[in-house]
Each structure stands twice: as C-alpha cells, then as structure tokens.
C-alpha cells in the first residue's frame, strides 16, 4: 500500500509569516495567535517524544480557541492513531475532511486508519475520495479490490492503468492471479486483441494472448497469433516458440529446427520453455533419427545450464527406452561436461554397460567410483558382478563381502548381492555356500 511521508516541522519557526500553500502538510502551517501557537507547538513537542496523551491535551486547548481548525483535527487524528485509538483517530481525520475536503492528507489519515483496522470496504470508500486529489492512489485501489476479491473491478482498473502508463510488475502479478481462475480469461482475451489492434508493435500483448490460448489448449489460435506476431514483429523470438510446435506437428523438420535454434539462442525466453522445446524435439528425433545431428547441436545451448543436466536427462530418456548404446553416449558426455563424481549418472552408466555386456568397462568404472565413494555399496556390487562375469570369482567374493558391510535397508540391492555371492562361490566350487546365498536371496525375494 502507498504510504505518504508526513513532514515534521522544525522548531524555531515561530517568526515565519502566515502562508497557506495548497496541499502542504498541515503541520507546516504556522499560526499567529500566541496562546494557540504555544499549545500547538507544545503538541508537536510532545508527539515528537511520543507523549501522545499530552499532545492530545495540548490540541484540545487549541480547539477551545479555534474549534473549526482542520489542522488541529488532523493532528489529533495522528496522535490517536499512534495510541491505536482507531475510532477517535478516524473521527478526527473525518472532521478535518469536513472542514477542508480538498486536502488529501486528511483523507490519507482516514485511509491509514481503515487499512490498519483491515476495514477494506471503508478504505475503498475513502480512497475513491483521494483519487480525484491524487491519481497515484489508483494502484492502491487495485490492491484493495484484490484483497476484497473484486477481481472484475481490479482487472478493469489494471487494464486502464496499463493502457495509460504502461505495465508494472505488481499489476502483472495481480493479473496472473486473476486469470489463473479462468473466469475472466475471455474478458482478458478481448482486451489483448483490442490492445494488439491499437498497438500492433507491442510484443507483450501477443505473448500474453499466446499463453492464454495455450492454457486453453486452443492450438489453432496459438498458431494464428504467433503468425500475426511474426508478421508484425519479424524479429520476435517469442513467435518462434509457438511456430516450432506447429512445424513439428506438421512434420516440417527444417522449419521446426530453425525456430528451435532461434528460441534456444534467445536471452529473452525462459529456460523452462527452452527445456520443453528440447524435450519435444528429442521425442521427434527418437522417431526420426536422421535429425540426431541437429539434436546434438541443440544440446550445446545447455552446456552452461546450472539447473538441469541436459545430457544426463537425455541419457535417461534413451535408458528408459532400453536404447543402451545411445544412453551410454549421453551419460559419458554428461560426466565429461560436468562433474565426474555424480553418483546417479555413474550408476546409470554402470547399469547401461552391464545391459550390453561391457564388463571390462563396468569393472574399470566401478573400481574408480569405489575409490571416490568407499562407503557406497552399489559400486561394490557392480565390481563384484563384473568380476564374476570376467571369471575372477575370488575378487568378486572379496569385494561383495566388503560391500555388504555398507548395505543399509535396500532390499533389492541385498538380493542382488546374495545372488552375486552365490555366483562367486559357484565359480570357486564351494557349492554349500552357493546354496546358502541363493537360498537367502530367495527368502528376501519373498519379503518384497
């Protein structure tokens, strides 16, 4: 809410001639009558040291001399407000407005009381008296409409002020809140279309309209507005966001790739939108692998992305589709580009190596990771598994028994450890222990 700073008078102004300046803070007005003047300045002195009760007594003496002095009532209101005596504060400010209805400070006092007491209906009534004196209070009125859920009035006023003075962050946040409910979207769509017709070079109106149509899953309208934006502002990067999806749906790969590259290179477009576009292109390339080179180029735009490890996520995409070779390529690239001790990526890579029988690579990678993370049982498991597959049963047994010491509440991994230990003892010819570990694995499987 807007707050006006009230200017305190400096002591030693007793000899300044009387003058009344329009909309001047009331306590800057000097007063001639000596007795009145003494009491008035006594009130200012007591208020300055927070003796509000004594300030009120001094002001009541002033009223006995000048019962229709609006400034005195204003000062009374401020002291009552400081004491949280809200009713007397409001009455005093209101009396001041009755004596001088054109002084905005008096209305501001009533507004302060109404806002502090959360009497928002009363605050709206007061602020409507303030607005003719100061148009700046219209933003306060929007806030009051929002807190009283009068969204239709708030939206009309937001659009009016945006049209006259340009957008502000606060108004845009309010508008997002209003439109999230959907009830006022048709009204806002009509407003945005009107704004586009009036000012076809204002990019933000197209963008907001595209978002609304997109939220309503109206793809035809999204494309229509995106094309209008492209015609009106050929350099617009935002137009390419919607055009990319349209081109992709029509299987026009060349134009889709052009639009995608413009979006990914843009500094204006949010990273979440860029990630969504890359994900859509990834799905497209999975069906149309001839465009893999273009995917590789697109990934490079995310090399410095601190929030999402894009190459890792693409690896997981192919991992879930059991396309192990492609997944391995992206996992290895991810570890090369970022941190090589990312536990999750290394585990995914070890699983992918295992799936295609690359046990020498499993052994090498698991050994490296055990040295870096000596308490992570997963790496002991993969080293034991690879040793078994390579016929190194004694090494497998030793590393698996070591890894069990670090295993905590992971039933699936415990089952796998016991199976590999059974395999190790089988390779060593100790069939009794082989049966012990296989039997234990079976018992654990029944617990799942």
Mean pLDDT of 428-434: 93
- Whole-number Cα distances in Å, 148 to 162, 330, 412: 21, 53, 55
Q: CATH 1.25.40.10 region(s) of the chain? A: 1-133, 359-448
Q: Is 119 exposed, middle or buried (0-12, 13-18, 19+ CB in 10 A)?
A: middle
Helix H or strand E segment including 255: helix 253-265
- What's the CA gap between 387 and 423, in Å, rounded? 10
Nearest to 94 by CA among 132, 55, 131, 122: 122
pLDDT for 26 = 54
Query: Which residue has 């089952």 as its token pair?
Result: 415
- For the four alpha carbons of 84, 90, 95 and 96, in that order, the dihedral sign comes to positive
Q: For residue 17, give the DSSP letter.
A: P
For 359-448, which CATH superfamily applies?
Answer: Tetratricopeptide repeat domain (1.25.40.10)
pLDDT for 70 = 93
Instruction: Supply the CATH classification number for the domain 1-133.
Output: 1.25.40.10
Question: H helices within 49-137, ranges in order?
Answer: 52-65, 70-82, 86-99, 104-116, 120-130
Residue 40 pLDDT exceeds 70? yes
Residue 14 pLDDT exceeds 70? no
Nearest to 154 by CA among 129, 167, 171: 171
pLDDT for 339 = 64
Long-range contact set of residues 54-60: C-beta below 8 Å, sequence gap at least 24: 55/79, 56/80
Name the band, by pLDDT with cuts 50, 70 and 90, for residue 169: confident
Mean pLDDT of 157-168: 85
Name the band, by pLDDT with cuts 50, 70 and 90, for residue 22: very low
pLDDT for 33 = 59
pTM of the predicted protein model: 0.55
Q: For residue 6, give the DSSP letter.
A: P
Residue 341 pLDDT exceeds 80? no
**9 in Cβ contact with 44 (< 8 Å):** yes
Q: Which two tokens stand for residue 2?
A: 């807007």
**356 in Cβ contact with 324 (< 8 Å):** yes
- 243 vs 104, more confident: 104
- What's the CA gap between 43 and 25, in Å, rounded? 16
- What's the CA gap between 443 and 411, in Å, rounded? 11
Rg of the Cα trace of the chain? Answer: 37
Question: Phi and psi for 2 in degrees, rounded to 5?
Answer: -70, 135
- What's the CA gap between 278 and 286, in Å, rounded? 12
pLDDT for 249 = 86
Range in 125-129, 242-246, 353-357 with the lowest mean pLDDT: 242-246
Q: Which two tokens stand for residue 141?
A: 């009125």
pLDDT over 70, % of the chain: 91
pLDDT for 4 = 36
């Amino acid at each position: 809410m807007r707050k006006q700073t009230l200017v305190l008078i400096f002591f030693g102004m007793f000899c300044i001639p009387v003058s009344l300046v329009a909309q001047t803070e009331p306590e800057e007005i000097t007063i001639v009558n000596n007795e009145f003047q003494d009491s008035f300045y006594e009130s200012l002195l007591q208020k300055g040291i927070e003796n509000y009760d004594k300030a009120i007594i001094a002001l009541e003496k002033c009223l006995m001399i000048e019962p229709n002095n609006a400034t005195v009532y204003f000062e009374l209101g401020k002291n009552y407000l400081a004491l949280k005596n809200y009713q007397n504060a409001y009455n005093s400010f209101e009396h001041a407005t009755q004596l001088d209805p054109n002084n905005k400070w008096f209305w501001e006092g009533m507004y302060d009381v109404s806002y502090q007491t959360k009497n928002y209906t009363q605050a709206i009534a007061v602020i409507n008296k303030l607005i003719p004196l100061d148009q700046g209070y219209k933003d306060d009125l929007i806030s009051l409409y929002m807190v009283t859920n009068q969204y239709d009035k708030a939206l009309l006023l937001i659009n009016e002020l945006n049209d006259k003075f340009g957008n502000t962050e606060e108004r845009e946040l309010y508008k997002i809140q209003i439109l999230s409910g959907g009830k006022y979207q048709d009204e806002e769509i009509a407003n945005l279309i009107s704004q586009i017709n009036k000012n076809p070079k204002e990019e933000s109106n197209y963008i907001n309209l595209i978002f609304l149509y997109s939220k309503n899953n109206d793809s035809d309208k999204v494309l229509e507005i995106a094309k209008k934006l492209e015609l009106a502002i050929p350099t617009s990067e935002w137009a390419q966001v919607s055009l990319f999806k349209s081109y992709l749906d029509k299987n026009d790969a060349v134009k889709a790739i052009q639009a995608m590259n413009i979006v990914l290179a843009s500094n204006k477009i949010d990273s979440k939108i860029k990630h969504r576009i890359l994900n859509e292109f990834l799905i497209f390339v999975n069906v149309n692998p001839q465009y893999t080179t273009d995917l590789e180029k697109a990934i490079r735009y995310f090399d410095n992305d601190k929030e999402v490890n894009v190459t890792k996520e693409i690896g997981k995409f192919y991992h879930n589709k059991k396309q192990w070779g492609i997944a391995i390529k992206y996992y290895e690239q991810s570890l090369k580009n970022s941190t090589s001790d990312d536990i999750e990526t290394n585990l995914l890579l070890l699983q992918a190596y295992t799936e295609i029988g690359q046990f020498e690579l499993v052994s090498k990678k698991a050994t490296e990771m055990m040295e870096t993370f000596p308490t992570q049982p997963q790496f002991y498991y993969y080293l034991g598994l690879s040793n078994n597959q390579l016929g190194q049963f004694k090494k497998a047994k030793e590393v698996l028994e070591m890894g069990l010491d670090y295993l905590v509440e992971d039933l699936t991994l415990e089952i796998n450890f016991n199976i590999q230990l059974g395999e190790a003892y089988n390779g060593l010819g100790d069939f009794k222990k082989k049966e012990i570990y296989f039997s234990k694995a079976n018992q654990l499987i029944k617990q799942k």
